[in-house]
Structure formats: C-alpha cells, structure tokens
Amino acid sequence: MAKRKGKTVILDTKPSIIGNAAAVGKKESEGPLGKEFDKVYEDTTLGEECWEKAESGLLKTAVCTAIEKAGKALYEIDVAYSGDLLNQCIGSTFGLRELKLPFCGLYGACSTMALSLIQASLAIESGGFDCTLAATSSHFCSAEKQFRYPLEYGGQRPPTAQWTVTGSGAVVLERKKGDYPYIDSIHIGTIQDLGVTDANNMGAAMAPAARSTISDFLRDTSTGPSDYDLILTGDLGAVGSELLKELLMKEDGIDISAVHKDCGLLIYDREAQDVHSGGSGCGCSASVLCSYILNGMRKGEYGNILFIATGALMSPVSSREGESIPGIAHLVNIRRERSK
C-alpha cells in the first residue's frame, strides 16, 4: 500500500518501466536527440489525409513499439491511460481504437505524460492491474490548425512562443521487480493561476505551477535538488525555465540550476531550428522522456530523477472570453539504482 507524505504519495509496488518508445517527425529527428527516437516520420502526414489522423498514427506507433519492446502482447495490457491536446482528445481515441485495450482518457494538456504515468502507477498500486500503459502525443500541424492559425497563413511568432513537438511517447509499466527504471513516488499538482493571459507565453503561465509542485514535493520528502541527478521539466522552454528557477530561488530559497533541464530545450537546437523559446506540446516531454531520458537511465546515466510535466489548462474559447491561463504540474520520481 502506498504511503502519503503531505501531498506526495510514495508507492509500495514501485511499478517497473519495462518498455518505452517515442515516435517523432522530421524536425525532431534533426534536433540534438535525433538518434534517440524509435521511429522517425520524414513525412509528417504519415500518409494520412488530415493532421489529426497523422497524430493518431504517431501515438499508435509509439504505443505498439513500447509494448513490443516490453515483450508484451496487446492482450497483456490491462489498461491504457492516454490523452492529448486535440478537442475531445481524438488523437488518443482514434490512435488506440483498433488496439482494443481497456482505455481511460485523460486531459492534462502538456502535463499528460506525467498524468498518465501517475494514473498508470496508481492502477498497479491498487492491486487491480498488473501491466498498464501511459501515453500521449502532439503534432505541430494539428495543434497549429486547432489553436492558432492555418499553416498556410504563415503567422508570425513572438520570441516567447514555443514550437509544438510532432511526437508521441509511451511507457509500459508492470508490477514485477527487476533491473528497470521504476516509479518511486508521485505528486499530483494543484491548479495555479497568477493571471497570465498571453497565449504566446505558456512558459510563464506554467512556471508557477512547476514551482509549487517542486517545492511541495521537496518539502514533503525532506530532500533537496542535490539528491537528484536530474530535475526535468516538461516544456517550460527558455522563458519559463528561467522564471521557474527565479521563483524557486526567491520564494523558496531552492536552487535547482545545477540539475535542471527542460524537455522543450533539449529536443531542438533553438538557434539552428528557429523554435524561439523551445519545444512544447504533450509530445515534447513524452518523446524526450520515453527516449533520451529513460534510455539514459537504463545506461546508468541517471539514477534518480524528478519528471515534472506542466500543462496550460486553457482553451481558445477561455482566452477569447478574457480568462487567464491556469497551469498545473504533475511530478513523478523515477529511479534506478546507479550502475556505477
């Protein structure tokens, strides 16, 4: 049975990450992590007639690859948790439809990889499920079409804007022990809204949520940044990352700068790839975690990491109606005994 410290839940079963995979588009494959991804689609339509179907295809590839790498058959997956940015989460629904898995839909915007890992872990911890799946996706073109402008319009982007990652990540968790990275503890975030209204500056909207979750977690567990090999945020980008570090220093006296990285800054070469403040979208943290980071943990490069994925829980309608952007950040502590 899991134990609770403050708002942090320490898992007893320590679900093992027995498979992980990431599928991405061309631009992501040209970035610094290009060689880490399991599958690259040079043609980001995936041969489909519309971007939404392409996104579903990406998700399906990541999910099926993760299951295969875990050495599992589809029928051995007891439940799949997934969600995405598209209205009514159709990326996940249509991506998973043919796989016939018991399915729980989530909505956490760009926090979805952490949210799905949390729910997939709690399902195992409950005793009712042995093998669970966590996944999410995003696609630059489906996101632009839905949230911003038609691609053909060629709208200008301010320097604080981020670039939605065309990518999907999936993880298979299992109860069994073994030499795998595992989920040690989880922390479900609380909605934070400091009144940011600029939808071209999501990093600033999400940083307060990341700050709150990280500082609560460190206090709950009586640990500090130096206890972790990596504090990995989802997609705060350049602007949001700086703000997070400032907020943690100023409000909590916590300095994470020695161990902090952000998936939105890892996935692209910001200078060469013209992505302004960095990558974003559910698929950003998902494809980085499910390739570079988990591969690195398997190789012994990291033994104890905090993965904090942040989400901006707004919609174009809420923004038009004058609402500010509520942020949320969910945290997962992933560990593996160091091999050195």
Give residues in contact with a second copy (CB under 8 A).
1-4, 7, 9-12, 49-50, 52-53, 78-79, 83, 85-90, 93-94, 96-97, 100-109, 115, 118-119, 122-123, 125-130, 146, 186, 188-191, 193, 313-318, 321, 323, 326, 328, 330
As measured in angstroms, the least distance from the Cβ of 76 to a second copy is 13
Residue 7 burial class via C-beta count within 10 angstroms: exposed 0-12, middle 13-18, buried 19 and up: middle
Task: For a second copy, give the closer residue by CB, 118 or 332.
Answer: 118
Task: For a second copy, give the closer residue by CB, 301 or 323.
Answer: 323
Strand 304-312 to strand 131-138: parallel, antiparallel, or no bridges (unpaired)?
Answer: unpaired
Cβ neighbors of 329 (< 8 A, separation 6 or more) are 111, 114, 189, 192, 206, 209, 210, 212, 213, 214, 233, 234, 308, 309, 310, 311
Cβ(209)–Cβ(192) below 8 Å: yes
Alpha carbons 292 and 302: distance in angstroms, whole number: 11
Task: For a second copy, give the closer residue by CB, 129 or 140.
Answer: 129
As measured in angstroms, the least distance from the Cβ of 32 to a second copy is 30
Task: For a second copy, give the closer residue by CB, 33 or 62.
Answer: 62
As measured in angstroms, the least distance from the Cβ of 83 to a second copy is 6
Cβ(85)–Cβ(58) below 8 Å: no
CA 282 from centre of chain = 6
As measured in angstroms, the least distance from the Cβ of 127 to a second copy is 3
As measured in angstroms, the least distance from the Cβ of 325 to a second copy is 10
Cβ(335)–Cβ(181) below 8 Å: yes
217: its two tokens: 């977690």
Task: For a second copy, give the closer residue by CB, 89 or 308.
Answer: 89
Diameter of the chain measured on Cα atoms: 54
Task: For a second copy, give the closer residue by CB, 117 or 230.
Answer: 117
Cβ(83)–Cβ(309) below 8 Å: no
Task: For a second copy, give the closer residue by CB, 18 or 186.
Answer: 186
Please report which helix (H) or strand (E) contains residue 168, including its range: strand 167-174
Q: Position of tokens 């399906």?
A: 60
As measured in angstroms, the least distance from the Cβ of 329 to a second copy is 11
Collapse the DSSP code of 141 into the 3-class scheme (helix H, G, I; strand E, B; otherwise coil) and give the result: helix
As measured in angstroms, the least distance from the Cβ of 192 to a second copy is 9
Task: For a second copy, give the closer residue by CB, 127 or 159.
Answer: 127
For helices 237-252 and 202-221, give the axis angle rounded to 10 degrees: 40
Task: For a second copy, give the closer residue by CB, 85 or 165.
Answer: 85
Alpha carbons 15 and 304: distance in angstroms, whole number: 15
As measured in angstroms, the least distance from the Cβ of 92 to a second copy is 8
As measured in angstroms, the least distance from the Cβ of 330 to a second copy is 8
